[in-house]
Amino acid sequence: MTNDHDAPTETQAALVRLIAGTLRRHGGDALPGGANPDEAARAWLDAGFDDPGEVDDWLAARCFDPRHAQTLDAAGFTPEQAALRTRQGRADYEETVAYKLAHGDLTLEEARRIITSDFWNS
């Protein structure tokens, strides 16, 4: 017989392991400063990302901080949209919308314009 109080803990631990593995696969950018993978995985869970595949999608978009992914998600952006590459913004380098937004080189409004333009021109 399983204890109902243990089930969420076991599920949570399994998710931490899976997300930590995803973070490890993405390397140093996903674990800045040698961050502990389990602690970083918990931060993703705390931000509402409990699907390792979705975390992988955000990381592939070069969105390495769950708080930034949460901001983009709340603004209605998908990881696919956040992965669009652009030279627009405050600094003249090409990178993903997510990366530039996270580094303060792009505003949400600029990101929205880039994504909308891509949609209508594709």
Angle at CA of residue 45, ends 2 and 13, nearest 5°: 35
What tens-digit pLDDT sequence spans the chain (122 residues)? 334 444 558 889 999 999 999 999 998 899 988 999 999 999 999 999 999 999 999 999 999 999 999 999 999 999 999 999 999 999 989 999 999 999 999 999 999 999 888 667 66
Pick from 65, 104, 98: which is nearest to 83 by CA? 98
pTM of the model: 0.86
Q: How many angstroms separate the CA atoms of 17 and 79, rounded?
A: 22
Sign for the pseudo-dihedral over CA of 112, 113, 117, 118: negative
Both structure tokens of 9: 């803990």
